[in-house]
Structure formats: C-alpha cells, structure tokens
Amino acid sequence: MLNAALLRRIAAVFFAVVLVSQNVAAALPAAVDNQPLPTLAPMLEKTTPAVVNIATTGRIRLQQNPLLNDPFFRRFFDFPDQPRERQTQSLGSGVVIDAQQGYVLTNHHVIDKAEKIRVVLSDGRAFDADVIGTDSESDVAVIRIPAERLTAVTLANSDTLRVGDFVVAIGNPFGLGQTVTSGIVSALGRSGLGIEGYEDFIQTDASINPGNSGGALVNLRGELVGINTAILAPGGGNVGIGFAIPINMAHKIMDQLVTHGKISRGQLGVTAQDLTPELAQAFGLKAQRGTVIAEVVKGSPADRAGLKVGDIIQRVNGRRIESSADVRNHIGLLRVGESVSLDIVRNGRNQHIKAVIEAPKLTYLDGGRLHPRLAGARFSDIAEGMPQYGRNTGILLSELDPRSPAAQTGLKEGDIVASANQKPVKSINDLETILGNGSGGGLLLNVQRGNGALFLLIR
C-alpha cells in the first residue's frame, strides 16, 4: 500500500506535468520515488482469460386469443396466419471453473430456455456449449465447452470476505465485450430481495450491468469470490448496488449439478422467523442473534430430532445464524440423506441437536383429470423446500407442457393458483373438491404470478 507522502508526491507530479504544457501529451510516470504506481493490470491479465461471453438463442411460444385457435372463427373473419413462436436472443457472461473438464459456471437466467449456447473466449475462440445442469432457485447453472487450452480462475473462500474489501467485476455488459469495473464489498448476506429463492448475496458498488450476469467478482489477488447476478436499478440504470452469489454457495451447487445433473433439496420440517429484540426479551435472551422456530411439522426430521416450537436456532453445522433466511439457505444446500447439526437455546439452556434431511413429501395432481383444458399441467402443494414462493397461499403449477391445452389458456409454469371458481385453494385436495374429477364446465382461476395476480377464465 502507498503511504500518504507518496500519494501526495504522485499528485504533485501529475499537476506539474499538466501545468507545464497543455499542448504536449502527458502521462503519469511509470514510477515515483522508485516505486511503481498501483495497477490491477497484472492481476487482470491472469484472470480475464477465465471469463467468457455467452450468447444464447431460443424460442418462446406466443400467447394468443383462444378464439384464434377456432378454425371457423379464423375463416369467418379472415384472420391471416400468425407466427405462434418467436426467436429470443440474450447475452451474458460465465467463468471457467475447471479447465480440464471445460466446466463454465454462469447464471440460470442467462441460459434459461436456450436452444443454442455460444461461448466466446477472451482470445476470440468460440465454442458451442452443452448444459450440464441448472438450478433456478439459486440462479446457478453449469455448462460445458471443449477443454482446449482453457484458463480457469482460482477460487477464494467467500466466507472470509469482509465489508470494505476491494473487488473487481468482470463481464460482458450490453454486449460491448469484456469489461472490468471495480469497487468494494458493500454488504454481506443480503437476502429477502425477492430475486431468487435462495439468497445470500454479496452486495458491491462495482458496476454490474445487463450482460454482466454470470461473470466474475474477484478480489485483488484475482481469486473468484462471487458470480455477478443482479442489480438494484429503480431508475433503470446502475446506482452502485449490485449483487453476486458467493462462490462457496455457487460451488456447492455446481458440485451437485456436475455429479447428479440436478439439485435434490430436502426438508427439515420447521418454519422459522427472525428473532426481534422484543422476541429476544420475551425468551429471556441477552443476545439477539438467531431465529426462532414458529412451527414444527409433525412427523418431519425436525420433529423426530426433538426440535420444539420456541427453540432458538443459533448455529447450523457450525455456521452462525442471523436470520430465518440463513436457516433456509444452509438447509437448502444440503442433499437428501445428509445430516445437519443445530445449536439451539431452549428455556435459556444451550442444546445440540442432530437431524437427517429428508425429501419433501409432495403430492402431484395432473390437471387433465380435473378439466380437459388443464391437460398438460401438473400441480403440487408448496413445500418447505420452495422458498421462492414465500408465504403465498395456494398450489403450484410445477410442470407445464408448452404445447398442451393448459399452456394455451395462458397459464405459465410457476403460477400459484389461489382460488378456483371464487373458492380458496390451499391444497391440491381443495382443487379436486372444487372442480370434481373430469368436470368440463367453465373454470375461473385466480393466479398469483411473480409480484402480480390475475384472473383466467377457462371454458
């Protein structure tokens, strides 16, 4: 690090050069007092070859008025044939994690629904990529390119990051080509943003723009600390609030995707809420860290392990818990069959409890059984392992055939059905009761989609 005297000397030299002549091109000297000027160039020369540009193409089905599917209606009103699909294109970034195997880590949303993925290296070489696996809930994806003279980035331990650490974001913003921006770690453990299901973001003021998604966030040693994912942009532009997935979290998900091709999340069987100062006082706690168990599902791993309502969870597998989101994130990274240890406080006494994560017990329902226009849709209850749906009340449209009658009604995968025929739906059993098997009459659904809601009339 340069001391204050040297910085003043650099400033003096710079202004002296400017004042001597405005007609002569001037530049900072390579060194001052025999000390080289600070630069990130050597680190970037080693790191940027591991960051790639990703271009994808795909197709999406256009939603049309159901009347246009009626041949008589189309012929009577002489409607021309219209395309039912349109091509999509997107740009993003990725990071070479394993040069020997050709594995590239990126965001799920960068390659979502892509039919073709083209990866361009910093030296201009281009390859078509295959998808190894994706996880929409954490927004992590792994793709693979030919392992031909690739450079991989070195991974850091993101758990050791501190607010104030210098970081550099590398990516492909707006399709301009590889671009580097710098900043600091503004905050750690950001969650509750509604961006992804599992959130434990690094916040940074290094500029992250569209196209940077999937790119690298590195420290000053060129080690990967995070995968750039999103920005908070209320005015549509960068305001210095960017988010990256910590590499420790992303790498754990990557290992599962590479080994199994998918994420198999389990459940513990608890509902937790943040420990407020008022709750801490009510429980007689001096410390206000942790999360309180508000519900234990009967017959769940938590129930069998002896967890109780009112227990304060302070650590999960040795990691300190600050909020209910921390519990969700730590449990969500565990596979079915893995054990988890919890340090809790019960009635003022510390206890240590172990449990084994189990698969969520979900019941599925094929929509075609209920209504002919729901054929191709598959519904399920919302389980603990689906945090992206928050506390929404309803049932989840978990699978949808894009060419099915259900898709033509305007339903979308991920929709939450809150009511049917103006009656609340809290489980798939409710939907069965309301509609009855094989009912062919009209159907009015109230659907929650993202941050909004709408009614769909299905005939």
Q: What is the mean pLDDT of residues 263-272?
A: 82
364-458: same fold as 270-356?
Answer: yes
Q: Check: CATH 3.40.50.1820 for 270-356?
A: no
Decide: 435 and 442 in contact? Cβ < 8 Å.
no
Active site residues: 109, 139, 213
Would you say residue 384 has pLDDT above 60? no
Task: Check: CB of residue 431 under 8 Å from CB of residue 379.
Answer: yes
Check: CB of residue 11 under 8 Å from CB of residue 19.
no
pLDDT (0 to 100) of residue 327: 85
CA pair distance 216, 220, nearest whole angstrom = 12
Nearest to 428 by CA among 384, 383, 376, 385: 383
Average pLDDT over residues 296-314: 88
Q: Is the pLDDT of residue 79 over 60?
A: no
State the burial class of residue 336 (Cβ atoms within 10 Å of its Cβ: 0-12, 13-18, 19+): middle
Region 83-112: mean pLDDT is: 86
In CATH, what class is 364-458? mainly beta
Least confident of 92-101, 256-265, 380-389, 450-459: 380-389
Residue 31 to residue 29: CA distance in whole angstroms: 5
Check whether domain 40-263 has CATH 2.40.10.120, yes or no: yes
Report the phi/psi class of residue 265: left, alpha or beta, with left for phi > 0 and alpha for psi in -120 to 50: beta
Q: pLDDT band for 48, please (50, 70, 90 cuts).
A: very high
Q: Where are the domains of the chain?
A: 4-38, 40-263, 270-356, 364-458
- DSSP three-state, residue 313: strand
Lowest mean pLDDT among 85-94, 114-123, 234-243, 436-445: 436-445
DSSP secondary structure string, 399-451? EE-TTSHHHHTT--TT-EEEEETTEE-SSHHHHHHHH-TT--S-EEEEEEETT
- Which of 222, 221, 224 has the alpha carbon at shortest distance from 246? 224
What percentage of the chain reaches a pLDDT higher than 90? 29
Query: Mind listing the pLDDT tens digit for each residue in 154-188?
Result: 999 998 999 999 999 998 876 677 889 999 999 99
Placement of tokens 């340090």 in the chain? 343
Calculate the average pLDDT of the chain.
80
